[in-house]
Amino acid sequence: MLTMNEKDKNEMLEAILNENEAYQCKLWAVIMAGADTYALIGGLSTLTGGAAAALGALSNAYCYLGVTEQHLNMVIVNSVNVSKIENRLSLPLSSITKAEVKGGLLPGRKVVMLHFGKEKMKISLMNNAIGSDIQGQKENVEMFCQIVSKLG
């Protein structure tokens, strides 16, 4: 069984990194999705020059997140075959109008709500990466939460 992993995380995020930018943090996450989130992802990908999201049935979507000084980069992977990319987004941090960070119901879990005007995206972050070789997940979750909590 394929799992989220360090090699894919780095390769997939590096492929959409803008020239002259560097990541402040890289992590894996779950986009907690409903119809509005899928519409948002599709709409944002169209706005940012990416292909429209073809994410299929409404369910949670696994992704790798990377944050630079100016962008939130997301690589959404297939929930069954996590080595298969479903969509790539590079969103300007300036497009985030509000961000809320809350502790999740489980220890070691955070829920981040990103607002893009009237649209919003809910992201679940876990401090650990059980069954994978992802490194520094806990530290990167903390860094991600610090960065986005200063936006909007």
Read off the CATH number of the domain in which 93 is found: 2.30.29.30
Whether 79 shows a pLDDT value over 50: the answer reads yes
Asked whether residue 35 is assigned to any structural domain, the reply reads yes
Q: How many separate domains does the chain show?
A: 1
CB 27 within 8 A of CB 141: yes
Average pLDDT, rounded, for the chain: 83
Predicted pLDDT at 36: 59
Label residue 28 exposed, middle or buried (CB < 10 Å: 0-12, 13-18, 19+). Answer: buried
Residue 1 lies inside a defined structural domain of this protein: no
Q: Is residue 129 part of a domain?
A: yes
Domain carrying residue 130:
6-13+22-149
Residue 32 forms part of a structural domain: yes
Comparison of pLDDT for 27 and 78, the residue scoring more: 27
What does pTM read for this prediction? 0.83
Would 102 be classed as within a structural domain?
yes
Nearest to 86 by CA among 34, 43, 147, 45: 45
In a domain, 46, yes or no: yes
Pairwise CA distance, residues 124 & 37, whole Å: 13
- Give pLDDT tens digits for 95-132: 999 999 998 777 789 999 999 888 888 999 999 867 67
Q: According to DSSP H, which parts of 15-128 are helical?
A: 35-47
- 39 assigned to some structural domain: yes
Exposure b/e, 83-97, CB count within 10 A at least 16 = b: eebbbbbbbebebbe
pLDDT in tens, 42-56: 555 443 433 333 344
